[in-house]
Amino acid sequence: MAAVVPATVFVYELDPLYIADLTDFIAGEAILAGQVVAIAGTGVAWTVHPANGVTTAAVVGVALHSAATGAHVAVAGPGTVIKVQNGDDTATMEAGDIVQADVTSAFGCVTAETDTTEHYQVGILLSAMTASGQAYCLLTPHHYINDGA
């Protein structure tokens, strides 16, 4: 597997099928339109970065436009139907597959769900996704499991 390089592949779908939730955040670093974004892992209020699983916490949605560090960025959240980018240039996925933020190297992209904690869950694919391709995804909220402790 080779990682997709986001700066060369993001061709954001300018007409999302449905936007259910929209929130204004601050870009903690440069963000490209269409990248999956997450809250800064250091807990900086209202600040998002391309999701990476290293310095970011939970995923909040998909950036609707590009933004420079410190600029405002509109983020589509749960319930939205929007295209997301496959972070792998060899793996394909099918409609119904649960996807998570790519936490290896194609930051801001998605891969098949493997994180059992579901911290990086993005949503459910509504159509097939080719290697290095894009597909429509229903953005879903994270599953929070409270063991009663």
Neighbours of 41 (CB within 10 A): 14
The top-scoring range by mean pLDDT among 1-5, 11-15, 111-115 is: 111-115
Predicted local distance difference test score (pLDDT) of residue 148? 47
Residue 103 CA to its chain's centroid (Å): 10
What is residue 36's three-state secondary structure?
Answer: strand
In sequence order, which residues have a C-beta less than 8 Å from that of residue 136 and are 6 or more positions away? 17, 81, 82, 83, 125, 126, 127
Predicted local distance difference test score (pLDDT) of residue 147? 47
Residue 12 CA to its chain's centroid (Å): 13
User: What average pLDDT does this structure show over 95-123?
Assistant: 85
pLDDT at residue 62 is higher than 90 = yes
pLDDT at residue 139 is higher than 50 = yes
State the pTM of this model.
0.88
In sequence order, which residues have a C-beta less than 8 Å from that of residue 127 and are 6 or more positions away? 95, 135, 136
Instruction: Give the span between the Cα atoms of 120 and 10, in whole angstroms.
Output: 20
Domains in the chain with CATH codes = 22-139 (2.40.300)
Q: What is the mean pLDDT of the chain?
A: 86
Instruction: Give the span between the Cα atoms of 149 and 137, in whole angstroms.
Output: 34
Place of tokens 């959240």: 77
pLDDT tens-place string over residues 86-107: 988 889 999 999 999 988 878 8
| Residues 37 and 59 sit within 8 Å (Cβ to Cβ) | yes
To the nearest whole percent, how much of the chain has pLDDT over 70? Answer: 84
Higher pLDDT, 138 or 89: 138
What is residue 75's three-state secondary structure?
Answer: strand
| Residues 78 and 144 sit within 8 Å (Cβ to Cβ) | no
